[in-house]
Amino acid sequence: MSRLGIKICGLSTTDTLHAALKHGASHVGLMHFPKSPRHLELEALHGLATQIPAHVGRVVVMVDPDDTLVSAITAPGVVSALQLHGKESPQRVAEIAARTGLEIWKVISVKRADDIASAAAYTGAAHRILFDAKTPEGSALPGGMGVRFDWGLLAGYHGALPWALSGGLDAANVAAAIAQTGVPLVDVSSGVESAPGIKDVDKIAAFCKAVNAS
């Protein structure tokens, strides 16, 4: 069985980045969305990205970015993937993929079974689907709130694209999520924080240990 992928998302400091790398993260997520407590300005984002070794995915999370922002994020050449967490259509996702030549992750916000089914529309546009919990109505944030959905909706899931799971994961429940869904890659943000936007190196270590023991 191949090793499960681990993405630690919303990192903002060198110490927490190094903790993620030390404990075996396959991907690191950096956030550029001003409403988020994990937001990084471009200079800080690019500075952290340059510290990530080439074998680790360098994923920048954005919400409905325009072409100017996409260009600003990707111009230095230190990003390996873009995670689109807004209402981007399959056509828009395909445009960004063509414009950047990067791997594109499309987030699908899930509450019901038909949300899972909607991922099929992104076949041929995105490179990976990330199933995340739908945040409460009226929320300013599209994710990173520790909300989870019914993982049973993904039991036996076989989509056309590689996929990942996010939403309410932490060291205590990630093994159960993996067992229930068979997911190949798990993504955590608030589940390894001591406060919103503040990553905890011990929680990062515990999460990675729990995944690797699954």
Reported as a single tens digit per residue, the pLDDT across 93-139 is 999 999 999 999 999 999 999 999 999 999 999 999 999 998 765 55
Q: Rounded to the nearest 10 degrees, how much is the dihedral formed by the CA atoms of 1, 156, 183, 144?
A: -170
Among the listed residues 9, 170, 187, 208, the single catalytic one is 9
Among the listed residues 132, 170, 187, 208, the single catalytic one is 132
Which candidate, 209, 172, 167, places its Cα nearest to that of 20? 209
Structural domain span for residue 165? 5-212
Q: What angle do CA 5, 79, 158 make, to 5 degrees?
A: 35
Reported as a single tens digit per residue, the pLDDT across 25-62 is 999 999 999 999 999 999 999 999 999 999 999 999 99
| Catalytic status, residue 208 | no
Whole-model pTM?
0.93
Our count of domains for the chain comes to: 1
CATH number assigned to the domain comprising residue 164: 3.20.20.70
Find out whether 4 and 25 touch, Cβ atoms under 8 Å: no
